[in-house]
Chains A and B, each alone.
Chain A
């Protein structure tokens, strides 16, 4: 078996000329109204956006959006309609069959509708295994583009985070776009005041 130093020294021997690091200065796109752009892009990628009014009851709104949902998974204290908790389930498999998973997003990205979701639960499976995913996002937390986004992301001790933009999708059969490949079949972003 080759060791790290075998491989690295062989690689190093074969470098002919070293190029300097460029200054990363991209005049990246910004939007007069990043929130409007974020909403537009969310719909473009197949997601749904619902804006919550200050008087709305969060749990009622979700119930109204998914009237047939029986199994609801969330570890968020403000979600009182949850029937499962990803922090206390025995294992990730126990989250299978979840109709609606409810999670929190940290911020959204206007250019591509990505939402940063660090792992804040024991089983991150809830973000993918649920048939439908609801992401709670404060509407003030929108950045223009990925350059701004990557300056903002923070990791916690769980060591996992993902950008999600819309529902799981595929076009692997004859290039026909189908929503709901292996993960959530629908995504609703609930914009919080």
Chain B
């Protein structure tokens, strides 16, 4: 029944079967690495339970923790800003940059700045923005958006990157070796770090008790971005604030194990204030819908997300359809849910991208009931006016048949006839069930008939005691 926006887009992804298979296998191997990490700690489930409870507590007391966080950050000498939406956020960033006469800003990866579409806004106002996470830099040079929240350039292979670098960075023709390409990107980015006027980071956590912004990277690019420029701006969504270091220990242990299957990120950096030779550090706390989502009794727990990416790595639909098949900028199970919170009319095409296998919620380190939430969103499609009329018609048809025993029996009796329909009739646009997969063969006799004829016998299975 491939008429949702997601499945249409997925068809494009699946055109390159070889790549689609690589994508699927790559993420399955990340999932396997995650499992090895999780099974290596007997306390893993205890950690998940604790992480979930901490997040529930924190989110339902976030007014207090945000107050504590901003008070402590200001005590440390930081300048704290509050932005109610993307537009305000972008304006605040621009005004800080203008105040410091910034022409070029390096930045580490931040899904929040993607959410607010900050880069195009700043560029339109004459600021050069340089992404410094290698994956982000690749897609920036390519003029694309991330297809995964942790591995943003996963949709490109080494030849794609090699050709891109030949054009943009002047690398050797035909040398598409990842080690060489990474080194060339390092040289080019090193120059950007040294000459930028400002550095921006996101934040994985804000610590209420100390005012720290904590940033986790493998590349060290957040630290490079803040080590040379004279100005550091950190931007975080409200929900990133947690109470204290005891809580942070729980999340730090899980973030990378769950996300990439590593025991830790290479760098876990704590920023409490600016370098002695730099201007005061700015922190921008961004609402952009979060305070409203908090009021949604069925879906507020999506705010527990720590953006590890494990739900998309394990998702059979994400693995086989890729990040660009989703209409929201965050793909996979968490993206489906956050997209629906953001704008259900625009993003309900994603809710079908789920088999309800619930693999996502069994790996989620903070125990978000991702699959259950997707199921709930599906029940509300009519109210958003985005339910599929064909599916609705079929559902009411089926409900009519199942409620009228006579019609049900006649339909059952007639069903084997479908086996003999010519293929052209069976696999045409009138039968959406026949699209993309083979129809079942109906049995000659139904279970019902077999039972009546006494043909159903107790299976003789030896049970071992």
Interface residues of A (CB under 8 A from B): 1-4, 6-22, 24-29, 41, 44-45, 91-93, 96, 111-114, 122-125, 127-129, 145-147, 149-151, 153, 155, 158-176, 178, 180-184
Contact = CB atoms under 8 A, between A and B. Distances in A.
Contact of B267 (A8, A15, A153, A162): A162
Nearest to A17: B60
B: interface residue count bin: 35 or more
Contacts of A184: 220
Contacts of B342: none
A109 to B, nearest CB: 8
B236 interface: no
B43 A112 contact: no
A160 B270 contact: yes
A129 B210 CA distance: 27
Given A20-B57, A173-B182, A176-B158, A125 B218 contact: no
A30 to B, nearest CB: 11
A1 B88 CA distance: 7
Contact of B276 (A158, A170, A175, A178): A158
Interface string B172-212: 00000011011100100110011000000000000000100
Contacts of A129: 224, 227-228
25 contacts: A1-B84, A4-B82, A7-B82, A7-B238, A10-B291, A11-B294, A14-B295, A16-B300, A19-B60, A21-B243, A26-B250, A27-B43, A113-B263, A127-B227, A155-B210, A158-B273, A160-B272, A160-B273, A160-B275, A163-B269, A169-B218, A173-B178, A175-B26, A182-B219, A183-B267
Contact of A24 (B41, B42, B54): B54
B417 interface: no
Contacts of A125: 224, 227-228
Contacts of B271: 159-160
A178 B181 CA distance: 10
A38 B10 CA distance: 44
Contact of A182 (B186, B262, B273, B300): B186
B243 A11 contact: no
Contacts of B157: 174
Interface of B: 26, 41-43, 46-47, 50, 53-54, 56-57, 60-63, 66-67, 70, 76-77, 80, 82-84, 88, 91-92, 132-135, 138, 151-154, 156-158, 161, 178-179, 181-183, 186, 189-190, 193-194, 210, 218-221, 223-224, 227-228, 238, 243, 245-250, 252-253, 262-277, 285, 287, 290-292, 294-295, 297, 300
B252 to A, nearest CB: 5
A61 to B, nearest CB: 24
B57 A19 contact: yes
Given A2-B88, A173-B138, A159 B272 contact: yes
Contacts of B76: 159
Given A22-B57, A162-B267, A8 B67 contact: yes
A63 B286 CA distance: 49
A12 B62 CA distance: 8
A66 to B, nearest CB: 19
Nearest to B139: A172
Contacts of B267: 162-165, 168, 183
A7 to B, nearest CB: 5
A170 B243 CA distance: 31
A24 B271 CA distance: 24
Given A146-B252, A162-B270, A164-B266, A170 B295 contact: no
Contacts of A170: 134-135, 182, 218-219
A98 B253 CA distance: 32
The 4 closest A-B pairs by CB, nearest first: A183-B220, A14-B295, A159-B273, A181-B219
A138 B156 CA distance: 44
Given A15-B295, A173-B178, 15 more contacts: A3-B82, A21-B243, A22-B57, A27-B46, A92-B275, A93-B228, A122-B276, A145-B253, A146-B264, A147-B250, A160-B271, A163-B268, A168-B266, A172-B138, A182-B190
A25 B224 CA distance: 36
Nearest to A44: B263
A14 B291 contact: yes
B206 to A, nearest CB: 14
A168 B84 contact: no
| Most chain A beta carbons < 10 A, residue from B42, B67, B186, B267 | B267
A150 B249 contact: yes
B151 A175 contact: yes
Contacts of B275: 92, 123-124, 158, 160
Contacts of A153: 245
Contacts of B133: 172
A92 B67 CA distance: 34
A183 B238 CA distance: 29
A44 B92 CA distance: 43
A11 B190 contact: no
A122 B228 contact: no
A123 to B, nearest CB: 7
Given A172-B138, A173-B181, A26 B47 contact: yes
Contact of B294 (A2, A15, A128, A171): A15
